[in-house]
Amino acid sequence: MLLLVSSYVFYGWWDWRFCFLLLFSSTFGFFVTKLLSETDSDKKRRLYMNLSIVVHIGILCYYKYFNFFISSFTDFAKNLGFNVDYTPLQIALPLAISFFTFHILGYTYDVYQRKYPASNNYFEFIAHIAFFPQLVAGPIERANHLLPQFANKRQFSWIKMEDGLMQMLWGFFKKIVIADTLATQVNYAFAHYQDLHPITLIIAVIMFTFQMYCDFSGYSDIALGCARLLGFELLQNFNYPFFSTSVSEFWRKWHMSLSNWIQDYLFTPISFNKRAWGKFGIFYAALVSFTISGLWHGANWTFIIWGAVHGIAIGYELLTKKKRKGWAKKYNPIAYSIGSGILVFIFWSFTQLIFRATSVDHFYGILKQIVTAKWVFQPEVNSVYLLYIVGLLLFEWFQRSKPYALQIINWPYYIKWAICALIIITIFSSKNLNNQTEFLYFQF
């Protein structure tokens, strides 16, 4: 009950009115899954499942996509010569609506598939949905992983406390020192791209790639560490994605809770439904799944394009899996892995340009500036920003076998606390401490 009340106070601190939306979604999910567990009629079970999808996706579409869909329709009508006037509604986007909607829908579908029975404890259920460390930006938890932890007895552990604080400290460092520092250069470059050297823009895109990583994985580290202080273990959300040698592997290591959600609840059912199409059914499933994932990220055509591009890449890799294994055996394996890793990073950075652009026109303008601008003057590059990136990659490479890079609790105490002290001093010395930017994934 303490966690339940604390989580709602935490959520309501932003806007107390949306606590009722969170409560309604959680309550509806609880009672629908109870009905699913209590009936054996396939017809009724399909009805309850479809009702849950309509209600939760309907709420999400109203708050997040209503203006986008209507505006897109009116723009299309105007292009056809029809005069359609529309004034967008002033709809505030509830914090974390995409995350808790996917959380509840995933749980409902698992109960529908009879993977486990529905919860019988109302307060435990709504508490695990609202659990404040993971509520606003994930990871997207699975009920069979988090919900039992509310029923189990938890005991205080000094080791868990130290480990949790270490992970939180690493998250704060990545967010405040690296992500917010890179943000100043990135924001300027994307706002004034017409006046910048192409190399400056390319470096800005790379900086945004690492800004996004440090910002989002930093939040995940803070969430996991905070939960561990309270005796809970959340799902790992990042696993050093920049050392991947394929786009598929990158997604298995980036926003892992979303990737697994997409695979279990979108890709697998769609590919099974289209199994008669053979390999093209798999390609179709990847394209549809990741396009929906792009739309989940935001009501903008840039996100839809971003998702579709990743869907095409994943589909290509699935169709050419055997051929690429043959290439790996034919050529030097180490050289092939390094080359593949570089290509994956270039692809990911390019798609991050689409992700960061405010519109399709904005993306096209930056891309045009990179391709067509004259390369005659010196690019404006601050080498300090690049040192942050190189240092981060080196440290994560050496710690890549650990769940997070600062898991050094088994190191000699004088080295361990010297590193922690250095990080704390760096955080408090950062000019970003009193000028922080919002976590990027709060907008989703």
Q: Give the residue numbers annotated as catalytic, written as ranges.
A: 297
- What tokens were used for 383? 């080498």
Most distant CA atoms of the chain, gap in Å = 73
**Non-local CB neighbours of 1 within 8 Å, separated by 6+ positions:** 123, 127
Q: What contacts 353, CB < 8 A, 6 or more positions away?
A: 205, 208, 363, 366, 367
CA distance 220 to 218: 5
Q: Coil, strand or helix: which one is 240?
A: coil
- Rg of the chain taking only CA atoms, in angstroms: 23
Two tokens at 16? 């107390």
What is the rounded CA–CA span in Å between residue 230 and residue 164?
9
As given in the structure block, the two tokens for residue 439 are 């976590």
| Beta-carbon count within 10 A of 162 CB | 14
Distance of alpha carbon 127 from alpha carbon 145, whole angstroms:
14
Compute the distance between CA of residue 49 and CA of residue 309 in angstroms, rounded to an integer.
Answer: 30
- Distance in angstroms (rounded) separating the CA atoms of residues 262 and 255: 11
Collapse the DSSP code of 27 into the 3-class scheme (helix H, G, I; strand E, B; otherwise coil) and give the result: helix
**CA neighbor of 262 nearest in space, from 236, 286, 297, 235:** 286
